[in-house]
Amino acid sequence: MSTIPSEQKVKNFKRFTIVASIAIPVVVAILFGVKIPGEELSFLPRIYATINGVTAILLVGALVAIKQKNIALHERLIKTCLVLSLLFLASYVAYHMTSDSTKYGGDYKAIYFFILISHILLSVAVVPLVLFTYLFAWQGNFEKHKKWTKITWPLWFYVAVTGVVVYWMISPYYIH
């Protein structure tokens, strides 16, 4: 990170991280109960699955970049992953506010539900992990950043990859 933030900025970012970590899952759960009739957004699952796939690829790129000590590229890739995560969230919520849930109809229900449930639970956990890990780098606390990354990176990568897998498994059952 280029400049070390002030104590006040760090304090504000910590507050934001805590509020976002609580608000995002609560708001998403509430919005799942909101249905906007007449809107046709059936194209969105393909888009947010693609966003997940691109995020997974960029996370690997960020890992390679930092292993090669290319900090500037690593930082750009992680910031891009953060933006993609926000775009994913917006498109995911928009789709579910305009469409009924799709029921999985395949033979691998136990596998599908294991992947889906682990994906959902870890996606909630990833929000504060990613934001705090980012904060530590922003503060210049790279020792703590590295420690947190050992947990955050694999979980974020898992969430991104399983987002694609869930889409791939459920896509034959979407009503078009």
Decide if 60 contacts 48 (C-beta within 8 A). no
pTM of the model: 0.91
Give pLDDT tens digits for 8-29. Answer: 888 999 999 999 999 999 998 8
41 found inside a domain: no
The mean per-residue pLDDT over the stretch 72-86 comes to 97
110 found inside a domain: yes
> How high is the pLDDT of residue 22?
94
23 found inside a domain: no
Distance CA 160, CA 88 (A): 10
125 found inside a domain: yes
Total tally of structural domains belonging to the chain: 1
Distance CA 54, CA 81 (A): 8
Give pLDDT tens digits for 128-168. Answer: 999 999 999 999 999 999 999 999 999 999 999 999 999 99
Give pLDDT tens digits for 28-51. Answer: 889 888 889 888 898 999 999 999
Distance CA 138, CA 145 (A): 9
6 found inside a domain: no
151 found inside a domain: yes
Domain that holds residue 134: 51-173
1 found inside a domain: no
162 found inside a domain: yes
For 26, list phi and psi in degrees, rounded to 5.
-65, -50
> How high is the pLDDT of residue 3?
74
Distance CA 150, CA 152 (A): 6
